[in-house]
Structure 1
Amino acid sequence: MAEIIPYDREAAVRYAHRWAYGRNPKYYDYEELGGDCTNFASQCLYAGTGIMNYTPTYGWYYLSPNDKAPAWTGVPYFFNFMTREEQSQGPFGLEASLNMLMPGDFVQLRFAQERFGHTPIIVEVGDPPALSNILVAAHSLDADFRPLDSYQFQEIRFIHILGARPGVAWAEKTKKNQWL
């Protein structure tokens, strides 16, 4: 699986702006079930990659409110899937430093709990990058263009998206299309 599909950061950010203060009816709103932030982050990421990983339990996908991977809606599972070492289908990235961040990357915040509990998407990065000039969009306390330093948090981490790896069906379709 050597081919990497580029991440369309602009598409992810456009999606974030479009749905920051609303809910796409194609997806369930988990706000009353612990929060909708990572569901929203996953929707944004999917808008920029178009590829899911349908591996039961350890994948990253959404088919319906009750048929989804834990990584689609769970903050720690999203992090673990995106920063995984094995080369499997779907988007991937790495834990990043502040100076690596670009629009379309993700932030995870730990508040007073033991685990990280919030996943905003970065929609704008100032120069030089600083918590005061990185702006995010999020669900669960809906926001768009919110300065990162306006959050009160205990710990922060960043996920820089590198691209997505195609699945077998996508690779076969691409191979067939090159002969048309």
Structure 2
Amino acid sequence: MPDRQLGWKQALVDYVSVVNEAGLLGDAKAFRRVPDPYHRMRLVRRAEALEERAALVRFKPIRSEMKARLLRYEAKETEVAADLQLHTVRSYEQDRFPWLEERVEKERIRLIKSGTRWRVDGIEPIATEQHPLPMAHANRELVDEYGWPSRPVLPSIPLIKTDAEVPARSKVYAGPGTSGSWEDGYERSMPYRREEAVAYAERWWDRPNPAFENFDVNCTNYVSQCLFAGGAPMNYTGRRETGWWYKGRSGGQELWSFSWAVANSLQHYLSAPRAFGLRAEAVDSPRQLQLGDVICYDWDGNGGYQHNTIVTAFTPDGMPLVNANTVSSRRRYWDYRDSYAWTEQTRYRFFHLIDEF
């Protein structure tokens, strides 16, 4: 048994080495040693997109390190299924100024034994940025301002716990036309504390805050937490299809707005004009963004946004670096050409948050 385990684990090590080396070289041809043709195609498409980026930007990768962690596996005599976590740290440089980008990806890998040797037979990413929060059996005729049905049947996802780590000074606005407010009500002229939003994004980029539920598709939940940590007041309406809020449980019922956790809904919420509360203005260029601002991603270019990130740093020439969840990412270049979800049709929305709520 030890010899058999050593064989398939060595095949995993060899695969990780190939991917790490090819990623640093940035050459699509370097992936020819990846055994699964479908995954090889994914990696090649990503490498080609990065080659196109290299023609547009002035920074270059100078070092790459990939750490692999075996999360779980099921082993048989001639077949193994293993879940692998890949933590990639890459160093980039522009005008002699270096920075680090980090990413945590998970893959499910199938290995088979052929004769006396083990080889990788299939590779599938466990999570990517291209899938929105699922909504089952929705009545598509009931579509509200956020682009979602008014009364969908949603997956069961618990909400905030009682010991949530959130800013003590945050207030909650009930919204016009609603009865009453939650917590202390809305306090005018609250500043957006951009540094605190970024600090929260940096602390929790690679692990969930235990005060909140960690969704399978967690990008928008994570961004909402960051905005809330920066002082953005919740707009509690009591209706999941309106406002921006995350209240918790009541009688076993989960209470959170679509805009808190669904990528397309947050994009719609930030697009809508309002006199106070969480507000943003759409700008034309990523260069116009500041720390704590938000970028939304429409991979297919059809108007449905599937991913959100928060700006946490900048390159020397002023381009945003972003943090995100689902695929946990820290200081990743804003255009996401290195995502499996990216396509030539990808469209972006750049939201600059108003400095006072």
TM-score tier by shorter-chain length is: 0.7 to 0.9
Cα deviation, residue 110, structure 1: 1.3
Residue matched to 2:307:
118
Question: Are residue 103 (structure 1) and residue 287 (structure 2) matched?
Answer: no
Higher Rg: 2
Cα deviation, residue 94, structure 1: 1.0
- More divergent stretch after superposition (66-75 vs 49-58): 49-58
3-state DSSP class of the match of 2:236? coil
Runs of 4+ in 1 over 4 A off after TM superposition: none
Structure with more of its chain in strand, by fraction: 2
Q: Which of these residues, 228, 234, 248, is aligned with residue 64 of structure 1?
A: 248
Q: Which of these residues, 9, 12, 23, is aligned with residue 194 of structure 2?
A: 9
8 Å CA contact 1:70, 1:77 repeated in 2: yes
Q: Could you tell me which runs of 5 or more consecutive residues in structure 2 were left unpaired when the two chains were aligned.
A: 1-185
Partners of 1:110 and 1:50 lie apart in 2 by 24
Question: Are residue 21 (structure 1) and residue 191 (structure 2) matched?
Answer: no
For 1:42-61, list aligned pairs within 5 A: 42-55=224-237, 56=239, 57-61=241-245
8 Å CA contact 2:263, 2:305 repeated in 1: yes
8 Å CA contact 2:190, 2:231 repeated in 1: yes
Q: State the AA in 2 paired with 1:48.
A: G
3-state DSSP class of the match of 1:95? strand
8 Å CA contact 1:105, 1:122 repeated in 2: yes
Question: Are residue 91 (structure 1) and residue 282 (structure 2) matched?
Answer: no
Cα deviation, residue 96, structure 1: 1.5
TM-score of the pair, normalised by structure 2: 0.41
Partners of 1:28 and 1:2 lie apart in 2 by 27
Residue matched to 2:135:
none
Partners of 1:21 and 1:14 lie apart in 2 by 13
Cα deviation, residue 102, structure 1: 0.6
TM-score of the pair, normalised by structure 1: 0.79
Cα deviation, residue 27, structure 1: 1.1
Structure with more of its chain in helix, by fraction: 1
Q: State the AA in 2 paired with 1:140.
A: T
Q: Number of residue pairs matched?
A: 158
8 Å CA contact 1:40, 1:138 repeated in 2: yes
Partners of 2:187 and 2:255 lie apart in 1 by 29
Residue matched to 2:332:
146
3-state DSSP class of the match of 1:38? helix
1:128-166 per-residue CA deviation (whole Å, 9 max, x = no partner) reads 433xxx21100011101111234334111111100453x
Partners of 2:326 and 2:301 lie apart in 1 by 16
Partners of 1:96 and 1:113 lie apart in 2 by 18
Q: State the AA in 1 paired with 2:265.
A: Y
8 Å CA contact 2:301, 2:347 repeated in 1: no
Q: State the AA in 1 paired with 2:350.
A: F
Residue matched to 2:136:
none
Distance 1:17 1:54, change over 3 A: same
Which protein has greater RCO, CA pairs closer than 8 Å, 6+ apart? 1
Cα deviation, residue 2, structure 1: 10
Q: State the AA in 2 paired with 1:135.
A: L
Q: State the AA in 2 paired with 1:67.
A: L
Q: Could you tell me which runs of 5 or more consecutive residues in structure 1 were left unpaired when the two chains were aligned.
A: 166-180
Residue matched to 1:170:
none
Q: State the AA in 2 paired with 1:46.
A: F
